[in-house]
Amino acid sequence: MSIQRPKGTQDILPGTVEKWQYLEDTIRTVCREYGYEEIRTPMFEATELFQRGVGETTDIVNKEMYTFLDKGERSITLRPELTAAVCRAYAENKLYAWPQPVKLYYIGPMFRYERPQAGRFRQFHQFGIEVLGADKPVVDAEVISLVWTLYQRLGLTGLEVHINSVGCPTCRAEHKDKLLEFLKPHSHELCRDCQDRLERNPMRILDCKNPSCQAFTAGAPTTLDMLCPECKSHFEELQELLKAAGVVYKVDPRLVRGLDYYRKTAFEVLVEEIGAQSAICGGGRYDGLVAEIGGPPTPGIGFAMGMERALAAIEVQNKMPEFEKAGYAMIVALGQQAQRHGFAWVSALRKAGIPASIDLLGRSLKAQLKAADREGVKYALILGEEELNKGMAILRDLRVGEQEEVALNQVVSVLKDKFGEGVNA
């Protein structure tokens, strides 16, 4: 096997696509119920969009982007996430002129250059939503409640919804000062990673998993401690609304999301059972991002859900439904003459809305029936020389094991009858 798929990518084969389709269908249903509409943006964008939109200090921009020059010497990047792109589309297509807020969702592949592991891929899929043009806490609550509803619909249990507020630029700056003040004396005792973070993004030290760092930061001021009145009441109102909606959540003051654009609300949904990469969903508010990209000042909030991780969770919790193979009719033709007739009959059946197939390998009767049986075929229509001469066909019910002769000109109506309402369902 000389050529294989690129590292961190997957082939989704029959037998597995059904699961994806199920997930996608469930997502679309919930989005429809919530009044969200789908948006599709390019798989690649100008590199600058992500540099500005996601943030120069983030790992995504620093080490995880698939970036290349196209033939016109433009720097292009395979989308590592979609929030920035959706904001770009909002500004570029002047969606701010539409009735606000604009409620969007997307489903599709994202690309990040990372070492793959359980729950992490170079090409992975996200479902996400973005609400643009609304800044009230109800929006935050609706977004979180949509995720909550989706997981319930999928039958998932034991999920933890963590919420936090990282404040606005004003209170965040204040927090940063206080935090540095607190950490400086301990700086040499922090782990090597946190030493770096001290320079780069001190807030992230708060969610360092290193036990000793956690010990040092136990009493550190959190963003919650420093919220300005506006941010504070926003966060409080959000919690009231979540309670009202019956969403079970946990306030996690140490929840800090990796992307630069977050303001106020940040949240995550965790599932422990799926491995080290347990964040199944992450999101938050990003007022200011649209303006950053060149649009009018526009508040926004959204989240992204890892579909591979969601599928993993559904799988470990045994919540994946069984997918039965769709029953169809199989034309079993014997000999060239019969095959020609049979070929015409498959077309006729299909035209009548009855799913039908015919042997494509020129196999023996026995082999054809065996294959039909394996594929879960309900009815086999056997056409041989004898039958053709009589203008008949044998209709065999493979489930029951009984058969009868049917006049060829009645085949369609008889089968239509047998398949009943299931045909077009």
Interface residues toward RNA, by CB under 7 A: 4-8, 58-60, 64, 81, 112, 114-121, 124, 126, 193, 197, 204, 208-210, 257-259, 268, 275-282, 304-306, 308-309, 334, 363-367, 369-374, 382, 384-387, 394, 396, 398-401, 403
Minimum CB–partner distance for residue 335 and RNA (Å): 9
Least Å distance, CB 229 to RNA, is 28
Minimal distance, residue 193 CB to RNA, in Å: 5
Distances (CA, A) of 79 to 43, 60, 192, 213, 385: 6, 10, 30, 33, 59
- In angstroms, give the least distance from the CB of 296 to RNA: 25
Report the residue number, 253 or 258, with the smaller CB distance to RNA: 258
Q: Which is nearer to RNA, 212 or 233 (CB)?
A: 212
Nearer to RNA, 100 or 214 (CB): 214
The DSSP secondary structure of 88-134, one letter per residue, reads HHHHHTTGGGSSSSEEEEEEEEEE-----BTTB-SEEEEEEEEEES-
CB 318 within 8 A of CB 311: no
CB closer to RNA out of 128 and 299 = 128
Contacts of 341 (CB under 8 A, 6+ apart): 333, 383, 388
Q: Minimum CB separation from RNA for residue 349, in Å?
A: 18
- Min dist CB 104 to RNA, Å, is 17
Whichever of 240 and 405 has its CB closer to RNA, that residue is 405
Question: Considering the complex, what minimum distance in angstroms separates the CB of residue 153 from RNA?
Answer: 18
Rounded Cα distance, 129 and 142, in Å: 11
Q: Tell me whether residue 288 or residue 384 sits nearer to RNA (CB atom).
A: 384
Q: Identify which of residues 228 and 406 has a Cβ nearer to RNA in the complex.
A: 406
Strand partners for 407? 392
What does the block give as tokens for 80?
């590592």
What is the residue-wise DSSP string for 360-385?
SS---HHHHHHHHHHTT-SEEEEE-H
In angstroms, give the least distance from the CB of 241 to RNA: 22
**Nearest Cα to Cα of residue 302 among 102, 2, 44, 118:** 102
Neighbour count for residue 203 (Cβ, 10 Å): 19
Closer to RNA by CB, 71 or 209: give it: 209
Residues 423, 93: Cα–Cα separation, whole Å:
42
Query: Measured from the CB of residue 280, what is the shortest distance to RNA in angstroms?
Result: 5
Residue 43 or 244: which CB sits closer to RNA?
43
Name the minimum Å distance from CB 15 to RNA. 12
Nearer Cβ to RNA, position 103 or 257? 257
3-state secondary structure of 393: strand
Ramachandran angles phi, psi of 98, nearest 5°: -80, 165
- Cα separations in angstroms, 99 against 96, 103, 134, 425: 8, 10, 11, 36
The residue among 2 and 424 lying less far from RNA, judged by its C-beta, is 2
289-298 burial code (b ≥16 CB/10 A, e <16): bbebbebeeb
SS3 of residue 12 by DSSP:
coil
Q: Give dist(CA 106, CA 88) in Å, integer.
A: 14
Closest approach, Cβ 395 to RNA, in A, equals: 10
Cα separation, 301 vs 324, in Å, equals 39
User: Among 238, 297, 292, which Cα is nearest to 261's?
Assistant: 292
